[in-house]
Amino acid sequence: MIVLEKKPETSSTHGCKPEDRTIEQLLNAGFILLDKAPGPSSHQVSAWARDFMGLEKLGHGGTLDPFATGVLPLLAGKAMRLTGSILTHDKSYLAVLKF
């Protein structure tokens, strides 16, 4: 595994640093990785999350069977335009664990 780390740079003419954004701004362009429990469908989980967070637009980037568990990517607001890209590309996951 190769991990590349680069310090992010934010241009003051094109937005602001993520830590300076309001919760509303973060949720309007958010990407949430949810550990789906067995039982509900991916659609039900995304609808519950949308209602819980009070969002107008929230969708999921892939379908898990109702009794399957696993990572369900949720996309909110402006991030929903990435749904097609998420669905058509191979997925890989990177985790960093510290004991």
Q: Over the stretch 42-86, which tens digit does the pLDDT of each residue have?
A: 999 999 999 998 888 888 887 888 888 888 889 988 888 887 777
Write down the pLDDT at residue 5: 66
39 in any annotated domain: yes
- How many distinct structural domains can be found in the chain? 1
8 A C-beta contact, residue 53 and residue 27: yes
Cα(30)–Cα(55) distance, integer angstroms: 11
pLDDT band at 4 (very low <50, low <70, confident <90, very high): low
67 in any annotated domain: yes
pLDDT band at 30 (very low <50, low <70, confident <90, very high): confident
| Closest-CA residue to 73 (of 18, 12, 32) | 32
Report the pLDDT averaged over residues 32-50: 91
Cα(1)–Cα(83) distance, integer angstroms: 26
Write down the pLDDT at residue 1: 56
Name every residue whose Cβ is closer than 8 Å to that of residue 53 and which is 6 or more positions away in sequence. Answer: 27, 76
14 in any annotated domain: no
61 in any annotated domain: yes
Residues annotated as part of the active site: 65
Report the pLDDT averaged over residues 78-98: 77
73 in any annotated domain: yes
Residue bearing the bigger pLDDT, 41 or 19:
41
77 in any annotated domain: yes
Q: Domain span at residue 47?
A: 26-88
96 in any annotated domain: no
Residue bearing the bigger pLDDT, 65 or 87:
65
Identify the H or E element spanning 60.
Answer: strand 58-60
CB atoms within 10 A of CB 55: 16
41 in any annotated domain: yes
Cα(48)–Cα(25) distance, integer angstroms: 20
